[in-house]
Structure 1
Amino acid sequence: MSRVRCLLHGLDFRAIFFLFLIFPAGIFAIYCHGQKITYFLRPLWQSPPKPFIPITHYYNENVSMPTLCKLHGWGVREFPRRVYDAVLFSNEIDMLTIRWKELYPYITRFVLLESNSTFTALPKPLNFKVNREKFKFIEPRLSYGEIGGRFRKGENPFVEEAYQRLALDQLLRVAGIEDDDLLIMSDVDEIPSRHTIDLLRWCDDIPDVLHLELRNYLYSFEFQLSHKSWRASIHRYQRGKTKYAHYRQTDYLLSDSGWHCSFCFRYISDFIFKMKAYSHTDRVRFSHFLSPKRIQDIICKGADLYDMLPEEYTFKDIIGRMGPIPHSFSAVHLPSYLLENADQYKYLLPGNCLRERN
């Protein structure tokens, strides 16, 4: 005790204040907001990716296909290519319906693979199999597959994701895909517009691989993000070369090619499931992030579920995009099936942020 008294006697009030209040508070702040600090300082340690080469996208419903192909600098074919739409499925029943209704006229084969495991090794039901009756309209053109999860706890979720995408490659071959067929590689909620697919199946000399620039939405078509989505891609299939992936595969980007509606769920429980299930589960830093009341409040505000800063590469972009997403009241040029069935999918349209609890 005498040694402690001597130590304290040698410290002035400012040192004691720093040691017992400021220093612990700083540690706690870093614990709570360390991810924000890292994202804000991103411009100091990471350079922006190489910019895409944008391809101007021409379309009007009254313009002929030969004219549209010519405007893009491409020739026109005597007959259209076959098109395969391949997805990994988790639980997005509504988005899958809207996607397949949008693409139905131009898809040769719908290919869907689902697993009894999430990317994070959590067990899950085979949701498509349970709801398959709802998709009778594509049954004659459906190639469906199931794959058992590996259930390796603690493994990087991207390993399980890659494992499932490799299995989807095999299912595509079983489905009969051939060289020069078009293959759409995108998540269920990344929906190409039907006129984009029609253009690419009719035009000759298109690039072997194209990324599709999609209008980017969060929670519904009320909250449009300022930056575009680019991970969706379309490929002229080449056996032994084309591999199903969800990362950058070319520099070419076809402008305004569809919609990406992320976390666009009907039920609060689906938000919670995805937050725990997908590859970025590390973003759920605290248990209260999964509170249904908190999730509902965030949906209506257009804020971030993970309380993160924007993933940008300049301080100007980070600061400019901080805060909630502005509300949009435009429902112009959305998927036609969505608008034709607005009563059924009301929660996806502007002014309807309240979600159901099941």
Structure 2
Amino acid sequence: MAVYDCFTFFNELDILEIRLNELDPHVDHFVVVEATQTFAGTEKPLYYKENENRFAKFSDKIIHVIVDDLPDRSSAWEREAFQRDAMMRGLVHAAPNDIIMISDVDEIPKPQFLKLISPLNTRDRIHFLECEHFNFKLNFRVVDKWIGSGAIRVLEKKNIRSPEKIRRLRARQSRRLPMWLNQLLMMARNKSRFGAFIKHSIYENAGWHFSFMTTTGEMTEKIAAYSHQERNTTAFNTEANFQKMIDEGRAICGRALEEVSMAELPAYVVDNQAKYRGILNQKR
């Protein structure tokens, strides 16, 4: 049984480095899915390819999927879905019962939760590793949880036809509903997606979702490139606006940010604080 960690990648080099080092003991193959265009449809460099020497120690584990055939579609969301489904190109040698993780590069599972997942408890089951959300700095956490804060999906390869459809499966219909009702609703949805009543498990605070861990200038580049094009406006997408959010302690979504201790971050970050000082708040 092998573990495949599959994720889409844009240009998040620091986050990729943290992910590879944090998960290396628990993962057999990393499937890095990178496109030659942004979700908005503009040409982009292959950032992983240009920087692969930085990740040379993981080269025997990395499967680099280059997506150079994004369809000419008007929707950024369709391009994102196409790139995510290209994860399957990196799974051609995976066995039916191999364990597959599906996420974006900035959604990193906590290693202690990966230890709880085994071939036995993954048989015909999907695991949702819910993430805490962080913006701008690795130690700036979004205060209020909400259902869209991100989750890593973990399941057997045999139950994957479309990673994008797996991505659309939510762990919960609502945080306001009791767990038993959430479970019932999820079973019904799984029946329509998988043709069977696939079981599921939810692990809370089981990952880190590190968004916009870069300079304010590069934040404007990301907003111009990603699927939430409703934010790509002259009023919102400016360096000054992002700096104001950071200064006021507000996340991209408008929720409040709180600073957390280093102990709550990945061990690789704790051990390499100087390397990541640009994306850590260390003013105290």
Question: Which residue is 2:207 aligned to?
Answer: 258
Select 1:290's aligned residue among 237, 243, 254: 237
1:37-80 superposed Cα distances (whole Å, 9 cap, x missing partner): xxxxxxxxxxxxxxxxxxxxxxxxxxxxxxxxxxxxxxxxxxxx
> What CA distance in whole angstroms lies between the structure 1 residues aligned with 2:21 and 2:91?
21
Q: Residue 221 of structure 1 contacts residue 331 of structure 1 at CA under 8 Å; is this kept in 2?
A: no
> What CA distance in whole angstroms lies between the structure 2 residues aligned with 1:103 and 1:92?
16
Compare 223-232 and 337-346 and name the one that shifted more: 223-232
More strand by share: 2
Letter aligned with residue 109 of structure 1: H
> What CA distance in whole angstroms lies between the structure 2 residues aligned with 1:203 and 1:340?
34
CA RMSD, 1 decimal:
2.3
> What CA distance in whole angstroms lies between the structure 2 residues aligned with 1:262 and 1:333?
16
What secondary structure, in the 3-state scheme, does the structure 2 residue paired with 1:217 have? strand
- 1:171-210 mapped onto 2 (5 Å cutoff): 171-173=90-92, 176-201=93-118, 204=121, 208-210=125-127
> What CA distance in whole angstroms lies between the structure 2 residues aligned with 1:332 and 1:112?
28
1:326 is displaced (CA, Å) by 4.0
> What CA distance in whole angstroms lies between the structure 2 residues aligned with 1:291 and 1:242?
39
TM-score (norm 2): 0.80
Question: Which residue is 1:227 aligned to?
Answer: 145
> What CA distance in whole angstroms lies between the structure 2 residues aligned with 1:144 and 1:118?
17
Answering whether residue 168 of structure 2 is matched by residue 247 of structure 1, we say yes
1:205 is displaced (CA, Å) by 5.5
- 1:80-229 mapped onto 2 (5 Å cutoff): 81-150=1-70, 152=72, 155-173=74-92, 176-201=93-118, 204=121, 208-225=125-142, 226-227=144-145, 229=149
1:292 is displaced (CA, Å) by 2.0
**Percent of aligned positions that are identical:** 26
Question: Which residue is 1:268 aligned to?
Answer: 216
Matched pairs, number: 251
Distance 1:221 1:208, change over 3 A: same
1:157 is displaced (CA, Å) by 0.7
Q: Residue 98 of structure 1 contacts residue 337 of structure 1 at CA under 8 Å; is this kept in 2?
A: yes
> What CA distance in whole angstroms lies between the structure 2 residues aligned with 1:193 and 1:117?
30
Question: Which residue is 2:264 aligned to?
Answer: 333
1:260-316 superposed Cα distances (whole Å, 9 cap, x missing partner): 111122x2232011111111112223x1433323322222322244xx65xxxxxxx
What secondary structure, in the 3-state scheme, does the structure 2 residue paired with 1:177 have? coil
Select 1:347's aligned residue among 246, 256, 278: 278
Unaligned segments of structure 1, at least 5 residues? 1-80, 310-320, 354-358
Q: Residue 331 of structure 1 contacts residue 349 of structure 1 at CA under 8 Å; is this kept in 2?
A: no
